[in-house]
Copies of this chain bind each other. A is one copy, B any other.
């Protein structure tokens, strides 16, 4: 297991700056975001990570597949658009030789991330939305497989079920992945999202080689008003990391460990200090005691 910087942790950094930062701090891998790759340019991003000798531990993110749950033409168009956008994300992941494309599958149809419920035109049918995700995956998995890309289904904490991901538990994501070959569809274990789950150790063991990505950050308490930013540096919240890390190791995961933190204070801090703290905390609280 090797530490990787997910570039959203040092959000101010461009791809070029994040690559430089990883090299400067002796990291071997980086997790990239599509927005940042687009700003840098895809070809330039590929060149930068290759020349630096970095692995791309993940590309974030595909998904948002549930809009197809809206009725009629609007739903059909949204579904087709989501599929098309995800094919582009898969292409980018292939170019970057990313270990996986992280999939945040989307919330209730018609509910926009971080926005209030619309007065009408949204759906409360969470089971239906989950069905749309399965349908979309059946379209996308073979496309990903042909390009050597693994889709990594990320269950999000249930607090994000309305607007970001109707995949709410590791077990649910794992069950969904099993319809597809292991090299096409896996799951993400992100400590923030799964720490509370009474079945998490059982499901990590069951996931085995389906674990496509292990992401760590802490769960702050109380959460800030913008719940998206409730992720903290490891050690600053309530998560007991070592047993989870040990379980992921025992399941056979040998990939990179990404630190992905959405947090206003961390985004405001000096990125080099953030990376230094991240490295220290990784040793102190994430890795199992040898």
Contacts and interface: CB of A to CB of B under 8 A. Distances in A.
Given A116-B222, A168-B197, A169-B198, 14 more contacts: A108-B238, A117-B221, A124-B238, A130-B198, A157-B158, A157-B159, A158-B158, A158-B159, A158-B197, A162-B219, A168-B198, A169-B199, A171-B199, A172-B199
Nearest to A161: B196
A239 B127 CA distance: 12
A196 B116 contact: no
Contact of A126 (B108, B116, B196): B196
Nearest to A158: B196
Interface string A229-249: 000000001111001000000
Interface of A: 108, 111, 114-117, 124-127, 130, 157-159, 161-163, 168-169, 171-172, 195-199, 219, 221-223, 225, 227, 237-240, 243
A56 B168 CA distance: 35
A157 B126 CA distance: 16
Contacts of A237: 117
B124 A240 contact: yes
Q: Which 6 A-B pairs give the minimum distances between C-beta atoms?
A: A124-B240, A161-B196, A162-B221, A158-B196, A172-B198, A225-B225
A228 B72 CA distance: 37
